[in-house]
Structure 1
């Protein structure tokens, strides 16, 4: 009896995420499989974008540590005027550029650099900023401290951390929303002044 050929699948270098709301609702997009990359899951994104629903139309957004681009793409889908995606991994940045091209999203720009270098070299002010770095890198405090001059009046900053990670917000920041789900803590800060 002949053996059927084994079905070893080639290692995947891409995975998928689904946009959950807005004009691209239901679209499945690919993202690069990169160490430390953990796209914000559907349920957490739904919660976050419920928090942001009245702030997104026309907003200028910054997706630091973009990775899969899940947060920035969701923002564009739901009416953000523009999103800057910052990603230091070449493969992830290239895949994100391809996804923006597939969506014909001219209002999204990918910056292949680190978050700290990007913030050191831009003068842009943002209405909404997403801060979701790789958990092992512990970049929250230095990133939040560097955001000050890049925030528009009444800006909102979303911060995703491990469940029990303490984050000390800069002066003038207030927690607008907070939720713990599984091993993650979601915080939305409002910034005045």
Structure 2
């Protein structure tokens, strides 16, 4: 019996720079390159596959926000699978520049890269979103403040994906969010919520 090959994960050099392969949709198989930065962790292939299975009926035409974008793996996957637009918010200038280069090389018109801190972006943003990806740096205690600031920017029934470090103090959103799906790995948990 032939064994299946393990799925290719992101490749990172010692500097933290690397590549991630888009795993589904119109850009399947294309690679995105990212710059190294402290705390940058591209979402694993198997996790992205699960998340986008969860989102399969909701992704087409959606206006997405990717706070703490990092490598852009979630943003580019969303665009590949039919998202209407994505705003990528990344405070590290070098990482944001790499996102812009990827948008150009993939000929993506529906993405906007914003080189700002997530909190500052939310203070000045007026757009509302159907889908938000939240994967802040671990160990910084950013989740609750970010979700509280995010609420005015969510459309009714918006979906919010949360990835956070696994601990006894994992943040659980308040009653304005309905839990839909959740999974855990050895080091982190990831969940999908609907804004009510």
Whether TM-score is above 0.5 comes out as yes
> 1:122 aligns to what?
125
Q: 1:5 matched to which residue of 2?
A: none
Q: Secondary structure at the match of 2:78?
A: helix
Deviation track 1:122-176 (CA, whole Å, cap 9, x = no partner) reads 1110000000011032200000000111001110000000122421313310110
Q: Choose 1 or 2 for highest CA Rg.
A: 1
TM-score (norm 2): 0.90
Does 2:174 correspond to 1:170? yes
Cα distance change on mapping 1:13 and 1:170 into 2, 3 Å: closer
Say if 2:81 is the partner of 1:78. Answer: yes
Correspondence for 1:58 among 61, 65, 71: 61
Tell me the number of residue pairs that the alignment of Structure 1 and Structure 2 aligns.
183
Residues 48-94 of structure 1 deviation map (CA, whole Å, 9 limit, x = unaligned): 00000110000000000000011111000000000000000011000
RMSD over equivalenced CA pairs, Å = 1.3
- Unpaired segments of 5 or more residues in structure 2? 1-12
* Off by >4 Å, runs of 4+ in structure 1: 10-13
For 2:16 and 2:48, locate their aligned partners in 1 and report how far apart those are by CA, in whole Å: 24
8 Å contact from structure 1 (residues 87, 93) kept in 2: yes
Match of 2:144 in 1: 141
The alpha-carbon deviation at position 182 of structure 1 amounts to: 2.2
Q: Is the 2:42–2:73 Cα contact (8 Å) retained in structure 1?
A: yes
How far does residue 12 in structure 1 lie from its aligned partner after superposition? 5.0
Quote the Cα distance in structure 2 between the aligned partners of 1:27 and 1:93: 19
Q: Structure 1-normalised TM-score?
A: 0.91
